[in-house]
């Protein structure tokens, strides 16, 4: 499988899709990463639009695997305050979450795994504490948070699916 080294997918593509927001791809475009390096309401709106478009275009025979990389300094606290502290959010904003969950409800069996990466500074610890406080119970979505991007990608890679529909596993 392309893009895998020691079971951790390597970066294959990176595009700045909005000033300060990068969409990156790993594992043969089987894992999408959203990496903001700054935060603004306009960036969050662009991120919501990109996440929803990507989710809707995803091959529904494979799980939607996404990393929300909030490890840039100060990003996680600003992100939390701009999203009503709901950081376990496949659609980024409250409205995006409703649309994403509605889309998943329309496609039974289509699953999503969202990893959230924080840094180990104060803002990262605050962000992770908020994630642990708020829970999300949508049956098609599983969230997990880490202080390490590689561990986040490793967890997502464990859910990769080969062409016959079997999990790759790591």
Q: Residue ranges per domain, the chain?
A: 4-157
The mean-pLDDT minimum among 5-9, 58-62, 149-153, 156-160 falls in 5-9
For residue 83, pLDDT over 50 is answered with yes
More confident residue, 131 or 99: 99
Q: Note the pTM of the prediction, 2 decimals.
A: 0.86
Euclidean distance between CA atoms 11 and 165, whole angstroms: 23
The answer to whether residues 17 and 46 touch, using CB atoms and an 8 Å cutoff, is yes
Between strands 31-36 and 21-26, the pairing is antiparallel
Q: Which of 10-19, 75-84, 161-170 has the lowest mean pLDDT?
A: 161-170
**Chain mean pLDDT for the chain:** 85
Give the pLDDT confidence of 148-166 residue by residue, as tens digits. 899 999 999 999 975 454 5
Q: Provide the pLDDT confidence category of residue 138 given band limits of 50, 70 and 90.
A: confident
């Amino acid at each position: 499988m392309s893009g895998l080294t020691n079971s951790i997918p390597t970066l294959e593509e990176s595009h700045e899709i909005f000033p300060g927001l990068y969409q990156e791809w790993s594992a043969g475009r089987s894992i999408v990463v959203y990496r903001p390096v700054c935060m603004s309401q306009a960036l969050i709106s662009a991120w919501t639009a990109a996440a929803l478009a990507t989710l809707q275009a995803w091959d529904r025979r494979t799980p939607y695997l996404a990393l929300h990389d909030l490890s840039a300094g100060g990003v996680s606290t600003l992100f939390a305050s701009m999203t009503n502290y709901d950081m376990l959010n496949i659609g980024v904003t409250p409205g995006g979450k409703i649309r994403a969950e509605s889309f998943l409800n329309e496609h039974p069996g289509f699953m999503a795994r969202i990893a959230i990466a924080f840094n180990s500074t104060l803002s990262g610890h605050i962000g992770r504490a908020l994630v642990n406080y708020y829970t999300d119970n949508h049956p098609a979505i599983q969230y997990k948070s880490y202080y390490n991007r590689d561990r986040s990608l490793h967890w997502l890679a464990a859910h990769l699916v080969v062409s016959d529909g079997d999990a790759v596993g790591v």
